[in-house]
Amino acid sequence: MTLLSITDDRFAALDWLVVLAYFAFTTVVGARLAGRQQTIRDFFLGGRKLPWYAVSGSIIATEISAVTFVGVPATVYFGNWTYLQLGFGAILAKIIVGCVFVPAFYEREIYSPYDYMGRWLGPDAKRVTTGLFVVGQLLAQGVRLYLTAMVLAVVSGGRLPLATSVWVIGAVAVGWTLLGGIATVIWTDVLLFLVFIAGGAVSVAYASHLIPGGFEEVLHAGWAAGKFRMFDLSADPSLDFTLWAGLLACTVFNLNMYGTDQLIAQRMFCCRSARTARWAMISSSAGLLVAALMMLVGVALFAYHARFPLSGADAAAVAEQGDRLFPIFIVRTLPAGLTGLLVAGIFAAAISSLDSILAALSQTTVSAVYRPWRQWRSKGAEHPPHSVPDSAGEAGRELRASRLLVVAWGFALCGMAHLAQRASAFYPDILRLALAMAGYTGGALLAGFMLAFLRVRVDGSGLLWAAPVSVLTVFAVAWHQPWSHWVCWIGAGLLVACWCGRLIGRPRPGDLARSAWLLLALGAMLWINHHGYWTSVDADTGQLVQHSIAWPWFVLIGFAAAFPLGYLLGEPRAVQPCSAGEQRCSETDA
């Protein structure tokens, strides 16, 4: 079977024209609304002058993304509405972020949550949280790029192979980011938000039109098949779509996503004030309605294919990868023009997430790597690493470096998309794969923020050890195959070796107790990986099965490992922000 046999040239010339026109229109409008980018403050913060409703729409468009637009209908088609329970945690998290995190971030001008952590915990915290963000987003956004490339390969009838499609999408994302920085990203996201709503509504309406009985039959077929089942009260943590996962695990999961992940947090920093940033974050809870609309699309697809079953190459393609369901429906069923508009929405959704992460990766790299390197070269330059230089020449160099980093990270994301194709074999659908990837590093990021926010009397040096232990612990609860044991043992061995090297090179008071805590945490991680949290006997084979904890709990587990260990392994300090020169915090720091 080839992708060409799926589409059979159904994606017409008019559809390609609509796609090109959409991208041309959004590019021109986004560039004009963004204005001229003269400094990195313009490039990364939009001059801190963007209205709350634009930022709110951008947050919704980013969190929905192509994974939700394509993956949620397939999840409902093969399951039900229990995915909606996870939205309860998202709303609670947005309220907490808006009321608690935002005022802390607006105490002074910063470019990322990692600047905030570095201010209170020192340069070690800034470096390690920046690294966590980079790793987590390379994993998660590589999946989104892979999904969009798959859609492009489908609609092109196989003329653009998957590998080529990855690089085409990546090139467009880099171009959009370079065009006008975060301001262009946000304004194009607003247009994308409107396309999401229109595309979902059109899909439901057209599928209902083709079914005898119309929309009433869609509701009847969905209700009879249990597609509208919304609540699952199971306490089993190996299940991902449960009420407890939504209220408990996903609240913590989304505190990281909205509060400490630069992909979303960067948008908050573009608002005029803490009040407008708070309103932008809380009002973006309306994104749950967009997710509900896409779940209704899944019900409509179920009712449609109950009357008109998939067959031939289409059935084989969906059986091979369920996420192809909605793209195939779009290409096969919708009239020319509408097909192009929805496909353009899918492409724009992915590119919106990609250009957002490219801008965020570039900004964090400039802040954590480029500026300290420039200061090291200048040996006592007037401007500290995390401040915005007044020199026009230095500002221009930073802007050029930022643009070059956008291109470099674009290459890295394309490489990760190819790896995501291999990883997809281990997950039932791409939606779960993308969300799971974001959870590996999220707990350590949230722990770093809480250590800074609570003004604990330790610096961020403990995070250098707590963060990898946290990531390994999440890995340990997620995987129990023999190969995973090697990963955990090798990771633990490297950490112990590095710790011993630090003890020899710079011993400190209390190292014996710190060593005991580190070994205890690593021992617990290895025990969990080998024994699991719950085992049962397979009824068919009689073999013992180790159950894995579902992805919504990843951030909570990672936080539980990183926060106490980061505190216990840190060095004592007074509760004052670190000095502008990024020296280690001390009682004399201002």
Q: Is residue 205 classed as helix, strand or coil in its secondary structure?
A: helix
For each of the domains in the chain, give its residue range(s) and CATH number, in order of start.
Answer: 3-479+548-569 (1.20.1730.10)
pLDDT score for 204:
92
Q: Which helix (H) or strand (E) holds 283?
A: helix 274-283
Contacts of 541 (CB under 8 A, 6+ apart): none
Query: Which pLDDT value is given to residue 583?
Result: 42
By the 10 Å C-beta count (0-12 exposed, 13-18 middle, 19+ buried), 24 is classed as: exposed
* CA atoms of 66 and 434, how far apart (whole Å): 11
Tokens representing 319 are: 């059986």
Q: What angle do CA 533, 520, 463 make, to 5 degrees?
A: 100
Place of tokens 């007037």: 382
Q: What is the pLDDT of residue 328?
A: 84
- The yes-or-no verdict on residue 218 having pLDDT over 90 is yes
Per-residue pLDDT tens digits for 279-317: 999 999 988 888 899 999 999 999 999 999 888 888 888
Q: Put residue 309 in one of left, alpha, beta given phi > 0 → left and psi -120 to 50 → alpha.
A: beta
- C-alpha to C-alpha distance for 402 and 40, rounded to whole angstroms: 8
In this predicted structure, the answer to whether residue 175 has a pLDDT above a threshold of 90 is no
Q: Does position 4 have pLDDT exceeding 50, yes or no?
A: no
- Could you tell me if 301 and 206 are in contact, meaning their C-beta atoms sit under 8 angstroms apart? no
Separation CA 533–CA 548 (nearest Å) = 8
What percentage of the chain reaches a pLDDT higher than 70? 82
Q: How far is CA 212 from CA 58, 330, 527, in A?
A: 38, 19, 57
Sign of CA dihedral 131, 135, 140, 141: positive
Q: Render pLDDT for 369-426 as a digit per residue (tens, 0 to 9).
A: 777 777 776 665 444 444 444 455 666 677 777 778 888 888 888 888 878 777 777 7
Residue 555, pLDDT score:
92
User: CA dist 215 to 29, 221, 297, 411, Å?
Assistant: 36, 10, 11, 45
Helix (H) or strand (E) holding 536: strand 535-537
Q: Are 353 and 62 in contact (CB under 8 A)?
A: yes
Q: Which amino acid is at 212?
A: P
Task: Give the range among 182-196, 296-310, 426-440 with minimum mean pLDDT.
Answer: 182-196
Inter-axis angle of helices 250-259 and 86-96, nearest 10: 50
One-letter amino acid for residue 278 of the chain: R
What pLDDT is attached to residue 589?
37
The pLDDT of residue 580 is above 60 = no
Higher pLDDT, 163 or 33: 163
User: For residue 20, what is the enclosing H or E element?
Assistant: helix 13-34
Residues 495, 468: Cα–Cα separation, whole Å: 8
pTM for the model stands at 0.79
Answer with the residue of higher pLDDT: 587 or 356. Answer: 356
Tens-place pLDDT, residues 7-28: 445 567 788 888 888 877 877 7
Q: For residue 1, what pLDDT is reported?
A: 39
**Tens of pLDDT, residues 25-43:** 877 776 666 555 555 555 5
- The residue with greater pLDDT, 579 or 542, is 542
For 574-580, what is the mean pLDDT? 60
Distance CA 22, CA 192 (A): 10
Can you give the length of the chain in residues? 590
Quick one: pLDDT band at residue 151, thresholds 50, 70, 90?
confident
Q: How far is CA 154 from each of CA 6, 146, 337, rounded to the nearest angstrom?
A: 7, 12, 17
Give the pLDDT mean for 264-293: 86
Amino acid at 197: I
